[in-house]
C-alpha cells in the first residue's frame, strides 16, 4: 500500500493574508537593504557602511519577528482546527 500524506494546511483567512503580506513587504525591504549594502552605487566611508549594516540588521530582526508571528498564527489555527475535530 502507498501512504499519501494529506495536505493539512487550512485555507488562508483574512488575518493570515494580512500577516503574509506584511511579511513579504518586510522581506522586500530586507532584500533592497542587502543589495544596497553589497552593491553600493558609489564608494562610502566606514561610518556610512556601518550605519547601513546596522539598519540591515534591524530590518532582518523585524522580518524575523513578523515571520514568527505568521507561523504562530498558522499553528494556532491548526491547533484550533484539531480541537474542533476532536469535539
Per residue in 50-83, pLDDT (tens digit) is: 999 999 999 999 999 999 999 999 999 999 887 7
- The pLDDT value recorded for residue 5 is 47
- The pLDDT value recorded for residue 12 is 84
When divided into structural domains, the chain yields a total of 1
Asked whether residue 54 is assigned to any structural domain, the reply reads yes
Asked whether residue 4 is assigned to any structural domain, the reply reads no
- Please say whether the beta carbons of 16 and 70 come within 8 A: yes
Place of cell 513579504: 24
Asked whether residue 8 is assigned to any structural domain, the reply reads no
Please give the residue range of the domain that contains residue 40: 14-86
Asked whether residue 71 is assigned to any structural domain, the reply reads yes
pLDDT of 86 over the 70 cut: no
Confidence grade of residue 24 (pLDDT, cut at 50, 70, 90): very high
pLDDT of 37 over the 90 cut: yes
Taking residues 38-61, what's their average pLDDT? 94
- Please say whether the beta carbons of 42 and 16 come within 8 A: no
More confident site: 87 or 85: 85
Asked whether residue 6 is assigned to any structural domain, the reply reads no
**Residue among 15, 2, 3, 33 at smallest CA distance from 73:** 15
Asked whether residue 82 is assigned to any structural domain, the reply reads yes
Amino acid at each position: 500500500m502507498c501512504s499519501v500524506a494529506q495536505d493539512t494546511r487550512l485555507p488562508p483567512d483574512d488575518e493570515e493574508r494580512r500577516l503574509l503580506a506584511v511579511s513579504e513587504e518586510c522581506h522586500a525591504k530586507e532584500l533592497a537593504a542587502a543589495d544596497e549594502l553589497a552593491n553600493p552605487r558609489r564608494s562610502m566611508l566606514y561610518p556610512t557602511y556601518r550605519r547601513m549594516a546596522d539598519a540591515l540588521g534591524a530590518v532582518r530582526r523585524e522580518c524575523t519577528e513578523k515571520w514568527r508571528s505568521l507561523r504562530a498564527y498558522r499553528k494556532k489555527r491548526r491547533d484550533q482546527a484539531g480541537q474542533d475535530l476532536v469535539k
